[in-house]
Chain A
Amino acid sequence: MLEIRNLHARIEEDGREILKGIDLSVKAGEVHAIMGPNGSGKSTLASVLAGRPGYEITEGSVTYQDRDLLGLAADERAREGIFLAFQYPVEIPGVNNMYFLRAALNAVRKQRGDKDLDAGQFLKAVRAKLKLLDIGEDLLQRAVNVGFSGGEKKRNEIFQMAMLEPKLAILDETDSGLDIDALRVVSNGVNRLRSPERAIVMITHYQRLLDYIEPDHVHVLSGGKIVLSGDKNLATELEKHGYAMLGDAA
């Protein structure tokens, strides 16, 4: 589904190179965890895949469903089924959360060739997903992320993901800032969204998320490169020895 080849990217503003040759292959149905110390380029990788402005690709390629991903604008990527759960979800004052979600869903559906959902159908879909994820209705009538607690913001991200039904979901530090209860809710949500058609790339600093969402593959990013890949046991190793063990591997 996703093929990343020798990807180099730098920050447009200051020219700093962050990604220095990433290779990664993700198939439908797989869950990949990308771990690594602060500043290793994890979030940059997520940003570049989602098409966030401010980065320049200097080398390499990314193929998504046999298409050149880097040639698509951020909104096109989203409509093609790429979803980024933000590390810091953005507040949009005055815009009702439901209204926002319906606009997004209809944009994505249009691309798929589906009809717009009317208000009734939409509400039905919303209720079904809320139930599936065990999330209350309290967030729906508030402005997008405005005044949400850290946990509420992350729950809202997963709820959006459930509604938009992406093919490739990238979770950027979804566990950061969550207490144990919130982590459980969010993880349950993600687990329920695992499916043979969907790939999930989780970016995390800590191993604890992987206790709740079991990955098929674990990669360690350091200095803008993937320095280690393995199965879920790699995460346990890392937890034991810390990122210091990368010194030998890198």
Chain B
Amino acid sequence: MSGATAETLDAVQSASGDSYKYGFFTDIEAETAPPGLNEDTIRFISAKKEEPQWLLDWRLEAYRVWLKMAEPHWAKLKVAPIDYQGATYYSAPKQDKDRPKSLDEIDPELLKTYEKLGIPLREREALAGIAVDAVFDSVSVATTFKGKLGEMGIIFCSFGEAVREHPELVRKYLGTVVPQGDNFFAALNSAVFSDGSFVYVPEGVRCPMELSTYFRINAANTGQFERTLLIADKGAYVSYLEGCTAPQRDENQLHAAVVELVALEGAQIKYSTVQNWYPGDAEGRGGIYNFVTKRGICKGDNSKISWTQVETGSAITWKYPSCILEGDNSVGEFYSVAITNNLQQADTGTKMIHIGKNTRSTIISKGISAGRGQNTYRGLVRMLPKAKNSRNFTQCDSLLVGDKCGAHTVPYVEIRNPSARAEHEATTSKVSDDQMFYCQQRGLSKEDALALIVNGFCKEVLKELPMEFAVEAQKLLAVSLEGSVG
């Protein structure tokens, strides 16, 4: 970033008094597709990525389905019209023709960006036990600890690389959990996705470190459409984390990602997200539109998928990480904290589809609304006729900070098997003046008091996060609530 740009940004940031510390922009040479969306755009992306014909065909098929679909409006969200033709669908940091062989060949500006984000890409500096894949705008720029993982047969690489190096795996599983035409945003993603992460953990292998992807939107007017595909073969275990940030801009930017998880017999996948996209300013200007489709299938018996999410960012969050419990005795879990402050809106929850016998699911959702934020939990629990003796437990708590925000709970329960049971508990509470005064009387500032109370409220979910993320998430909750107590 040039000195002048940095100064301007600093000035703007201090003037707006904004606390979003990831709002900087990196001045980097990028290769960008012309704005607009048509079959040529898709061919451009596919050609840039040197993809095989089958994948281009798959994208075009998705695009043709997308054209016939309508933007969904059933969520409790007010969304400004999205100009799909005005956006740019591909932006990649320009690199020398040959891809970088090592981090030393990566643009130093990029490395600096990730340093600012607190994500060390150099392995010697990396947090012990976390392998990182960094996705900058449309492409993956670096994956760490690849060699070490490779020795165990674990594949952890960018999606693009997986298409080149492991086409048989990608082809076998791509779109099997979230088909191209699943929904409007998933179809759009299928047509234009640019990169993302790919993970394969072979049979019987327990992945020894946390795998992590950090997503960063940098370029203006550019949508980010990444795609993550994670496969845990029989008896495998993997814990995967993703984090996201974006620069502070006045216009809204679209993020429409797809995540597919496949757990084969006896496999376990733990998928954690700390979503901190730019939320917009106090007046609701700017911020990311986060329309994401995440779904996992417990394909084999005795498999387990666990989603944990902490959603603090984005102007709009539309996201329902779900589990299809196909294998007998399979387990699905969803732990969620969603915060909306100022004019943020979130409509989030999960779907638990019980197909196999003795399948079990747990849903713990904690929604926090502050400022004029609107927070909706929307969840579906469906027990199909063969899901004998299946169980669901849902707990859905809402916490209100102030009196201008809203919390909404929309549970759907469908049971088509007499031996299946679903339990639903819901509470709504306010941060009480008594709690605030009690904390303050013990010496805590208003902000610290609120952060403490909110962290206590979210504890059941936060304890599901891997340690490094739990600390970050706690701090994020505090930052997200800044300005919500007078």
B455 A104 Cβ-Cβ under 8 A: no
Alpha-carbon distance between A100 and B433 when the two chains are bound, in angstroms: 17
Assuming A75-B440, A79-B443, A107-B448, is B433 touching A94 (CB within 8 A)? no
Is the C-beta of B393 less than 8 angstroms from some C-beta in chain A?
no
A107 B456 Cβ-Cβ under 8 A: no
Assuming A53-B433, A75-B440, A100-B452, is B445 touching A93 (CB within 8 A)? no
17 A–B contacts, CB within 8 A, in A order: A52-B441, A74-B440, A74-B441, A75-B444, A78-B442, A79-B443, A90-B437, A90-B438, A92-B452, A93-B457, A94-B455, A94-B456, A95-B452, A103-B448, A103-B452, A104-B439, A164-B443
Alpha-carbon distance between A100 and B452 when the two chains are bound, in angstroms: 8
Task: Give the residue name and chain of the B residue nearest to A52 (CB).
Answer: B437
Alpha-carbon distance between A83 and B442 when the two chains are bound, in angstroms: 7
Mark out the residues of chain A between 83 and 107 whose CB falls within 8 Å of any chain B CB in the assembled complex: 83-84, 86, 89-95, 100, 103-105, 107
Is the C-beta of B458 less than 8 angstroms from some C-beta in chain A?
yes
The 3 closest A-B pairs by CB, nearest first: A94-B456, A95-B456, A104-B442
Overall SS of chain B's interface: helix
B435 A90 Cβ-Cβ under 8 A: yes
Nearest CB of chain B from residue A73's CB, rounded to whole Å? 7
Alpha-carbon distance between A94 and B459 when the two chains are bound, in angstroms: 6
Is the C-beta of B446 less than 8 angstroms from some C-beta in chain A?
yes
Mark out the residues of chain B between 20 and 44 whose CB falls within 8 Å of any chain A CB in the assembled complex: none
Alpha-carbon distance between A83 and B439 when the two chains are bound, in angstroms: 11
Is the C-beta of A160 less than 8 angstroms from some C-beta in chain B?
yes
B441 A107 Cβ-Cβ under 8 A: no
State which of A78, A94, A160 has its C-beta within 8 Å of the C-beta of B457.
A94
A78 B438 Cβ-Cβ under 8 A: no
Q: A75-B449, A94-B460, A103-B444 are in contact. List 13 more A-B contacts (CB 8 A).
A: A54-B433, A74-B437, A75-B441, A77-B441, A89-B438, A91-B435, A92-B453, A100-B442, A100-B452, A104-B444, A107-B443, A107-B445, A144-B456
Chain B, 419-439, contact with A by CB distance < 8 Å: what is the 0/1 string? 000000000000011110111
A92 B456 Cβ-Cβ under 8 A: yes
- Interface, chain A (partner B; CB < 8 A): 50-54, 73-75, 77-79, 83-84, 86, 89-95, 100, 103-105, 107-108, 111, 143-144, 160, 164
Task: Give the residue name and chain of the B residue nearest to A160 (CB).
Answer: B442
A108 B433 Cβ-Cβ under 8 A: no
A75 B455 Cβ-Cβ under 8 A: no
Nearest CB of chain A from residue B450's CB, rounded to whole Å? 11
Chain A residues with CB below 8 A from B437, complex form: 52-53, 74, 90
Assuming A50-B441, A75-B444, A79-B443, is B435 touching A92 (CB within 8 A)? yes
Chain A residues with CB below 8 A from B459, complex form: 94-95
- Interface, chain B (partner A; CB < 8 A): 432-435, 437-446, 448-449, 452-453, 455-460
- Among B439, B441, B446, B448, the one with the most A-chain Cβ atoms within 10 Å of its Cβ is B441
Assuming A74-B437, A74-B440, A86-B438, is B445 touching A95 (CB within 8 A)? no
State which of A78, A94, A144 has its C-beta within 8 Å of the C-beta of B440.
A78
Alpha-carbon distance between A74 and B439 when the two chains are bound, in angstroms: 10
- Among B432, B444, B446, B457, the one with the most A-chain Cβ atoms within 10 Å of its Cβ is B444
Assuming A53-B433, A93-B457, is B452 touching A84 (CB within 8 A)? no
A104 B443 Cβ-Cβ under 8 A: yes
State which of A86, A89, A111 has its C-beta within 8 Å of the C-beta of B443.
A111
Chain B residues with CB below 8 A from A79, complex form: 443
Alpha-carbon distance between A103 and B448 when the two chains are bound, in angstroms: 9
Alpha-carbon distance between A130 and B150 when the two chains are bound, in angstroms: 53
- Among A77, A79, A92, A111, the one with the most B-chain Cβ atoms within 10 Å of its Cβ is A92
Alpha-carbon distance between A79 and B442 when the two chains are bound, in angstroms: 8
Assuming A94-B455, A94-B459, is B438 touching A73 (CB within 8 A)? no
Alpha-carbon distance between A24 and B76 when the two chains are bound, in angstroms: 57
Chain A residues with CB below 8 A from B452, complex form: 92, 95, 100, 103
A73 B456 Cβ-Cβ under 8 A: no
Alpha-carbon distance between A51 and B452 when the two chains are bound, in angstroms: 20
Chain A residues with CB below 8 A from B448, complex form: 103, 107
Nearest CB of chain A from residue B455's CB, rounded to whole Å? 7
Chain A residues with CB below 8 A from B435, complex form: 90-92
B456 A108 Cβ-Cβ under 8 A: no
Nearest CB of chain B from residue A88's CB, rounded to whole Å? 8
Chain A residues with CB below 8 A from B439, complex form: 92, 100, 104
Alpha-carbon distance between A79 and B458 when the two chains are bound, in angstroms: 27
Chain B residues with CB below 8 A from A107, complex form: 442-445, 448
- Among A52, A75, A111, A160, the one with the most B-chain Cβ atoms within 10 Å of its Cβ is A75
Nearest CB of chain B from residue A174's CB, rounded to whole Å? 15
Nearest CB of chain A from residue B277's CB, rounded to whole Å? 26
Nearest CB of chain A from residue B404's CB, rounded to whole Å? 19
Task: Give the residue name and chain of the B residue nearest to A106 (CB).
Answer: B443
Nearest CB of chain B from residue A146's CB, rounded to whole Å? 9
- Among B442, B453, B456, the one with the most A-chain Cβ atoms within 10 Å of its Cβ is B442
Chain B residues with CB below 8 A from A108, complex form: 443
